[in-house]
Structure 1
Amino acid sequence: MRIVTKLGWIALLLALGSPAIAAEPVVEPHHVLMVGNSLTYTYNIPAILARFAAETDRELTLKTHFAGGKDLTWHWSNARKTAGLTAAQVIEQGDFDLVILQDSSRRSLSAESREEFVQVTKEYQQLAAKKSTRLLFYMGFLRNEKFPEDQVQTLDAMYTDQADALGISCAPVALAFQRCHQERPDLALLDNRTDGKYALNKTGTHQSPFGSYLAACTIYAALYDRSPVGLEFRAAFDQKKEVTFEKEDTAAAQDIAWRTWQAWKKRQQQGS
């Protein structure tokens, strides 16, 4: 009886304190490559992330492989004119801790293009594994100011299912945009809004400066698994000029980004 009791206590102590079952610590990246298009470079999301990192005393070097209107398939096998390398070559020749992949906003519109997404991201994952580099999806937002539920669900499933299949994570920017639209419809997230706070009334459907800020907050949450709530930097970049926002609005973006990331992570952990 004493032996059983002693073993029981040992099992309990192991269950409570064993490193083998403790949550794995987040390995913070230092050298990051961002692959994408205007959904990332408009109003300079990388620069916002760099300011967030500097504010929190984090070492973060960001490199980019951007081309307007292009998807991950194009990036894989086509060289940017200025860089002369494909995304695959940049990853192969680089020394990155993490590669952030942002695909075309239209990718989820057909079963054929969704299957192409599955295939090309497998190639990125195989190369990343060879280089001991992690991947992170950036779930690009819908270029539709109403953010319709059925389309958002399809986009979410495309990214989340493949993230599960590859064993990687995802910054659920599209879901943050949808949540923000529901909770703060007064805030213009796309640049073609004709009303709303920070509306630009432009032709096209890129993110507004505030949309870029919300996207950066969501990526920050996924990048570090840390809340962006309380970050003091409150701007996006139009060329080199800062476009600033009111504190109450950036606080809302930070809170929405954090809650969205937590909800997405919980779903992934539960296998849904």
Structure 2
Amino acid sequence: MKTSLAGIGIFTLTALLPASVMAETGSNRNALGSPNPQQILYVGNSYQYYNNSLHNYVKRMAEAAYPDIADQLNSKSVTISGAYLSQHDIKSYLFPDALGLPDPFDVVVLQGHSGAALSDEKRQDFRDAVLRHHKAIEATGAESVLYMTPAYSEDHNSYDPGMTDKIEELYTAVGNELDVLVIPVGLAFQNAYEQRPELALHVDYDGSHPSPEGSYLAAATVFAALYDTSVVGNPYTYYGRIDEDDAAFLQQVAEDTVAEYYRR
């Protein structure tokens, strides 16, 4: 695969898989090569750094689940406001000593721009960036992971009821092309809204960024995808900021969404 990728020219993502096939094809990967990562780098934009940062939520869930190795769990987040993945210099991030970490990264989580799936040009830019970043990540011995973003809510000016499907198709196709794990955060948001539409996972002033409950759901989905212990019952609730009943609901949605997406 690595050899053939080098010879692939520029073409639109639709050339990879017909839309009808993309919509029906699930993820080829259902687990990391090495589960329970201890050193994680998150790369993205404000979708991650809202509400005291996604990486902090996931780390605290992992510390609660694995208290015996809590002092060995480390994560860093590199975010640029409004950034596309193509605007990140991944190679400069992959030196853990420069970021104050004792060991190399096990996993690098890549989150694209919220609009990455909304045009052929943006889809192609996303794919090209992921391929380029994956090559750099793989060279360090780490695993690349894709973070499937949630769609806009009805409060957003560009709300589209079919946006989740477009995002899922993009991330699944690129993830399968590279045989890397995809974390179905966008599907978890959709499933949670279908079950409890009154629970706000987006902030209402823009319909794009996550509320604290949205960040919690995203983190629970990341945890469910990366670790071999269920997130259901995890005691971390953002220091009591997330209502216990809401936390239990969001944990179950995350667990169910990951299981469903990986067995398609």
TM-score for the superposition, normalised by structure 2? 0.78
Matching residue of 2:16: none
Q: 2:202 aligns to what SS in structure 1?
A: coil
Q: Is residue 108 of structure 2 the alignment partner of residue 99 of structure 1?
A: yes
Letter in 1 for 2:214: G
* Alignment map for 1:215-226 (pairs within 5 Å): 215-226=218-229
Matching residue of 1:133: 142
Determine which of 84, 88, 93 is the counterpart of 2:91. 88
Cα 1:37–1:25 shift into 2, 3 Å? closer
Superposed CA deviations along residues 233-257 of structure 1, whole A, max 9, x for unmatched, are 112xxxxxx5612211111100000
Native 8 Å contact 1:145 1:189 kept in 2: no
Cα 1:248–1:189 shift into 2, 3 Å? same
Determine which of 68, 73, 79 is the counterpart of 2:81. 68
Letter in 1 for 2:41: L
Matching residue of 2:7: none
Aligned length: 220
Distance 1:88 1:117 in 2: 17
Cα 1:226–1:161 shift into 2, 3 Å? farther
Deviation of 1:93 after TM superposition, in Å, equals: 6.3
Cα 1:264–1:226 shift into 2, 3 Å? farther
Distance 2:246 2:160 in 1: 23
Letter in 2 for 1:61: N
Distance 2:174 2:105 in 1: 22
Q: Is residue 153 of structure 2 the alignment partner of residue 144 of structure 1?
A: yes
Superposed CA deviations along residues 145-195 of structure 1, whole A, max 9, x for unmatched, are 487542111100100111111111011111000000000112001111xxx
- Which structure ranks higher in relative contact order (CA pairs < 8 Å, sequence separation ≥ 6)? 2
Matching residue of 2:183: 171
Q: Is residue 254 of structure 2 the alignment partner of residue 257 of structure 1?
A: yes
Q: 1:254 aligns to what SS in structure 2?
A: helix
Q: Kindly, what percent of the aligned residue pairs are identical?
A: 31
Matching residue of 2:245: 248
What is the aligned-residue RMSD (CA, Å)?
2.0
Runs of 4+, deviation exceeding 4 Å: 23-26, 146-149
Q: Is residue 190 of structure 2 the alignment partner of residue 187 of structure 1?
A: no
Letter in 2 for 1:65: V
Native 8 Å contact 1:92 1:131 kept in 2: no
Superposed CA deviations along residues 68-91 of structure 1, whole A, max 9, x for unmatched, are 110110013xxxxxxxxxx32112
Q: Is residue 238 of structure 2 the alignment partner of residue 266 of structure 1?
A: no
Native 8 Å contact 2:84 2:126 kept in 1: no
Cα 1:225–1:157 shift into 2, 3 Å? farther
Native 8 Å contact 2:47 2:210 kept in 1: yes
Structure 2 unmatched runs, 5+: 1-30, 98-103
Cα 1:102–1:149 shift into 2, 3 Å? same
Structure 1 unmatched runs, 5+: 1-22, 77-86, 193-201, 236-241, 268-272
Deviation of 1:25 after TM superposition, in Å, equals: 7.2
Q: 1:221 aligns to what SS in structure 2?
A: helix
Q: Computing the radius of gyration over CA atoms, which structure comes out larger, 1 or 2?
A: 1
TM-score for the superposition, normalised by structure 1? 0.76
* Alignment map for 1:4-153 (pairs within 5 Å): 26-43=34-51, 44-57=53-66, 58=69, 59-76=72-89, 87-91=90-94, 95-145=104-154, 148-153=160-165
